[in-house]
A and B are shown apart, each in its own frame.
Chain A
Amino acid sequence: MAVQASNQALAGAAARGLDKSAIEAVFSPRSVAVLGVTKSPGTVPYDIFHNILGSSYTGVLYPVAPGKRSIDSVRAYRYLTDIDDQVDLAVLVFPANVCEKALEHCAAKGVKGVIIISAGFREVGPEGVSREQRIKQICRENGIAMIGPNCLGVINTDPAISLNASFARKMPAEGRIAFLSQSGALCTAVLDYARGKGIGFSKFVSFGNKAGLTEMDLLEYLHDDEKTDVILLYLEELRNGRKLIEVARRITRGAGAKPILAIKSGRTPQGASAAASHTGSLAGEDAICEAVFREAGIIRVASIEELFNTAIMLTNQPLPKGDRLAIVTNAGGPGVMATDAAVRTGLSIARFAPETTAKLKAALPAAANIKNPVDVIGDARCDRYMAAMEAVLADDGVDQMLVILTPQSMTDIDDIARGVTRVHARADKPIACSFMGACDVASGIEILQADNIPHYILPEWACKAMTDVQRVIKWRSQPEEQPQQMPADRAAAEAIIDSLPAGYLREDQALAVLKAYGFSVPDYKLCRTADEAVQFADSIGYPAVLRIVSPQVVHKFDVKGVALNLQSAQAVRDAYRDMMAAVRAKVKDATIDGVIVRRMMPAGHEIILGAKQDAVFGPTLMYGLGGLFVEVFKDVTFALAPIGPDAAMRMIRDVKAHSLLEGARGTPPADVEAICQSLLRLSRLVTDFPRIAELDINPLLVWPAGKGGAVADVRIRLNGENQPQ
């Protein structure tokens, strides 16, 4: 076989009874049978057969077309089992209701790879779901690697195979980029788009309903595919987020690392907006996905354009040693725009060494700008561009170069493009180009693309792509971090949680859980009478705080269920009386368990820490500054638990308002270490207790550095799993 399948791919696939040869059979078959071919041009069955025939496939192709002697002079077979030779890959284009029969023939024949193009499965409703379950079972029982159903197909451009087993219009050019997509229709648009940009592919897979091989299996396979340098992924749904992270981390870091770029189309889960907690309402699938992709080293982009803009910077180019960019342009305006874009996206503008400046001064006219961005001015021809590019690339303070060209009447566009290709061939630094325009620059762009030199219509796109490359580099250099296990009294928390049904914990119970996990919780007591409240307040000192405890009261402030800054016993007594009356008036049938009495804490930074059990990703943490920052600006960060200190600090630093914690307008820096420790404790708590469905600590009050912080309010909701009877 041309390519060895990844051992890792088979670790996951082995669990489903697949061996090495099965996945290989999908991508590198020696023989292919198309089951259900018709004689009607323009139909999927006919077109797929013809695409394989027309793609110069190097293996043997068999049409299975009952009732037909031949399909376009290729001998046809009634059944797969009528074929004497071994068949590696079967492509099913029969209607869905006979695919099961066809798959049984595949199993009987010993076919190891199957692509089911046919629609009419899970996506059409209950009958389709059952149908899909049955074909899954057949594949599992017979060790068949299946792509689909309901997919566009698979393309392998390796000249040793050259297979277009899809109903895409044309075979793409060979390239070093692999594309995996959950949307078949998008695939055809992507192929056409890439063709227009001169971008080729190594492998192209539409995996449809992913009833067999999933994106995880395919990612692992591509990890070891020697023909693939970059993996692009389009996803609509994630079923196993943690597995994706595990697989992606292996691929994007370490030996043989390959970048993964992804588009994940957003879907707002209905539950997110209905959640009662801040965490529940903010932690929609898309928000968590953003964080998860970051943790997995997957570069998430927003569009097909961005996907390929970054992909082409990562193929056929060395990685830059740093982020220092040099710009060579024949137009001042675009040069400045590119500089602005570079700074905005996080790149550095290289400062030239004196030798470089001297070279530029000697080679360029007096009117040229010899600082960065180098402006060779509007009448520049190839010689001036060459002198500038060579001087700049030779500078050790330059890591990468962007060449901008605007088509003046004297600009020899094609010669300059060829000059760039000559410089590129000798360079050990990445080069990108922006020949701005559409018509006059078209032939020059073709010259660049033919040499795989990344080209962008706008310099800003080049800068964004270069910044994404920096993200890849930074990710690879980040050390692998282990989660940190904070000390905790798990048994004490367990005693509380295991004794309770689904629903919200009383505040005293929630505080007790946090205390067991080492959170700083001020002394408190659940008091059921005014006398008890006064007695406790006397013991802990004033000012005191009273907080109503009632299963029917979730938002305490809304019902006057919180009294602050109570300076005396009488104030406590009055507050107790008033609170009972107010709550009973506002919440008619409230069951009042009492009030939490605690000492009033000094003002500090208000932080929100949250957690939820996400259906796709499991225990998920949220962090942000409280108050307006979370309610209005939604300035929060997410991570999957468990986390270590580095991940906790990243969550803290990544909120936009973080600078407020570093000290603003003369205020001292906050105790960020205390926040970090609290995040780690929360991480352990929600990992240990999957029954914690949602948790909000809002606020965690944090004081100046060294003074720590403490929980001012907490809500914990348990789910119903393993609840007591």
Chain B
Amino acid sequence: MDSKEIQDRVVKVVCEVLGVDAGMVAPESNFVFDLGAESSQSIQLVAGFEEEFGIDMDNEAALAVQTVGDAVTFIAKYVK
């Protein structure tokens, strides 16, 4: 799976969980500051990524990820 596919699928999950349009989501977008993720939604995002990619992530490390781009990089480690 290449980076672009991972990013597209990450954006899909973000839009579903946070209820935002894809146009708002960029790699540098901060989940909280730019996309308005509340603390419960951060947990939903991690669960959403795990389900979307069929992976089991280190939850503590996953919750520390702050931007969409960083999430793509983080998930890539698990997918590869």
Contacts and interface: CB of A to CB of B under 8 A. Distances in A.
Nearest to B40: A40
Contact of A98 (B32, B39, B40): B32
Interface stretch (A61-69, A215-223, A312-320): A61-69
Contacts, number: 37
B20 A94 contact: no
B40 A94 contact: no
A443 interface: no
A66 B38 contact: no
Contacts of A65: 36
Instruction: Output the residue of B19, B32, B33 with the most chain A CB within 10 A.
Output: B33
A101 B33 contact: yes
A67 B19 contact: yes
A552 interface: no
Interface string B20-33: 10001000001011
Contact of A68 (B34, B36, B39): B36
B30 A98 contact: yes
A102 B32 CA distance: 11
Given A38-B38, A40-B40, A102-B33, A97 B66 contact: yes
**Chain A interface size, under 10 / 10 to 19 / 20 to 34 / 35 or more:** 10 to 19
Contacts of A78: 24, 34, 36
B13 interface: no
Closest 6 CB pairs of A and B: A67-B36, A66-B36, A98-B33, A67-B20, A38-B38, A98-B32
Interface in A20-48: 36, 38-40, 43
Interface in B29-55: 30, 32-40
B38 A94 contact: no
Contacts of A68: 36
B57 interface: no
A604 interface: no
A95 interface: yes
B32 A95 contact: yes
B18 interface: yes
Contacts of B35: 66-67
Contacts of B66: 97-98
Contacts of B20: 67
A281 to B, nearest CB: 46
Contacts of A98: 30, 32-33, 66
B38 A43 contact: yes
B48 to A, nearest CB: 15
Name, among A67, A101, A102, the residue most crowded by chain B CB atoms within 10 Å (CB to CB). Answer: A67
Interface in A433-492: none
B33 A40 contact: no
Nearest to A45: B38
Interface string A92-125: 0011011001100000000000000000000000
A419 B39 CA distance: 57
B13 to A, nearest CB: 14
A40 B40 CA distance: 10
Interface in A68-82: 68, 78
Contacts of B40: 40
Given A67-B36, A97-B32, A98-B32, 19 more contacts: A38-B36, A38-B38, A40-B38, A65-B36, A66-B32, A66-B36, A67-B24, A67-B35, A67-B37, A68-B36, A78-B34, A78-B36, A94-B33, A95-B39, A97-B66, A98-B33, A98-B66, A101-B30, A102-B33
A67 B33 contact: no
A66 B19 contact: no
A72 B33 CA distance: 20
Contacts of A66: 32-36
Nearest to A69: B19
Contacts of B37: 67
A122 to B, nearest CB: 20
A83 to B, nearest CB: 16
Nearest to B21: A67
Contacts of A43: 38
B32 to A, nearest CB: 5
B21 to A, nearest CB: 9
10 contacts: A38-B38, A40-B40, A66-B32, A66-B36, A67-B36, A67-B37, A94-B33, A95-B32, A98-B30, A98-B33
A36 B36 CA distance: 7
A404 B35 CA distance: 63
Nearest to A35: B33
A118 B66 CA distance: 17
Contacts of B39: 95
A78 B35 CA distance: 8
Contacts of A40: 38, 40
A68 B37 CA distance: 10
A78 B40 CA distance: 19
Nearest to B20: A67
A391 B19 CA distance: 75
A68 B36 CA distance: 8
A102 to B, nearest CB: 7
Contacts of A101: 30, 33
Contacts of B34: 66, 78
B5 to A, nearest CB: 24
Interface in B1-29: 18-20, 24
A95 B38 CA distance: 9
Nearest to A67: B36
A317 to B, nearest CB: 49
Contacts of B19: 67
A520 B36 CA distance: 74
Nearest to B14: A67
A522 B32 CA distance: 75
Nearest to B32: A98
A94 to B, nearest CB: 6
Contacts of B18: 67
Contacts of A97: 32, 66
Contacts of B33: 66, 94, 98, 101-102
Contacts of A38: 36, 38
A65 B32 CA distance: 9
Nearest to A101: B33
B51 to A, nearest CB: 21
Nearest to B29: A66
A65 B18 CA distance: 12
A94 B38 CA distance: 9
B38 to A, nearest CB: 5
Interface string A596-616: 000000000000000000000
B30 to A, nearest CB: 6
A36 B34 CA distance: 10
B73 to A, nearest CB: 18
B1 to A, nearest CB: 27
A393 B35 CA distance: 68
A95 B20 CA distance: 20
A39 B35 CA distance: 14
A67 B33 CA distance: 10
A67 B24 CA distance: 8
Most chain B CB neighbours (cut-off 10 Å) among A68, A94, A95: A95
